[in-house]
């Protein structure tokens, strides 16, 4: 990510967490996330046209939506997220596509990606399971690595996440 060039670590954990907050608020599901030179492109399904009335009218229709998040947008999302969280306790893990699911899932996957130090990312999700393609650079050259996280893998990672958080000033994680 260009906004993190020169940083001590690539911070996919916080970047993906902040994108996840936006996706949760938008009600998006079955996402595809692609890193591009100036940010990320995210595509997913959203319900549109939901209204009160008969049962069939209230469901609305599902539409595919494509969003572009530039580096400046992501930096703003991260600042807003940090201000919202403050020093309070971490939110509880959330399963499935409930409110906060993408925030939690993308954060723990981003943390795993930080350890891999990728140069490029392609990710897609369906029903809480994720497939990720990373471009890794090494002494032998660049190569792609593919990883899969099942819904249960993500739930386990989210459950384990609090032990990886640094304690704050009060000594609480």
| pTM (2 d.p.) | 0.77
3-state helix, strand, coil in the chain (%, to 5): 40, 30, 30
Q: What pLDDT tens digit does each residue of the chain (173 aa) get?
A: 555 555 554 689 989 998 999 999 999 999 999 999 989 999 999 988 765 555 555 567 899 999 999 988 888 888 887 777 665 444 444 444 455 899 999 999 999 999 998 988 999 999 999 999 999 988 889 999 999 999 999 999 999 888 766 554 444 44
Cα–Cα distance for residue pair 134/60, rounded to 1 Å: 36
- The two tokens of residue 50 are 């939901």
Q: How far is Cα 132 from Cα 57, in angstroms, rounded to an integer?
A: 36
Residues facing 134 on adjacent strands: 121, 145
């Amino acid at each position: 990510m260009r906004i993190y060039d020169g940083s001590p670590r690539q911070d996919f954990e916080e970047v993906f967490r902040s994108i996840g907050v936006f996706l949760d608020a938008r009600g998006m599901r079955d996402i595809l996330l692609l890193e591009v030179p100036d940010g990320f492109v995210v595509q997913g399904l959203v319900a549109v046209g939901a209204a009160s009335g008969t049962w069939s009218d209230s469901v609305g229709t599902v539409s595919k939506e494509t969003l572009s998040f530039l580096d400046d947008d992501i930096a703003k999302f991260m600042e807003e997220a940090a201000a919202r969280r403050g020093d309070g306790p971490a939110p509880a893990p959330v399963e499935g596509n409930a409110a906060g699911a993408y925030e939690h899932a993308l954060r723990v996957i981003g943390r795993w990606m930080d350890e891999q130090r990728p140069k490029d990312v392609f990710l897609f999700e369906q029903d809480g399971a994720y497939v990720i393609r990373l471009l890794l650079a090494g002494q032998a050259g660049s190569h792609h690595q593919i990883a899969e996280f099942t819904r249960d893998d993500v739930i386990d990672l989210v459950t384990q996440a609090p032990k990886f958080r640094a304690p704050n000033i009060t000594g609480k994680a």
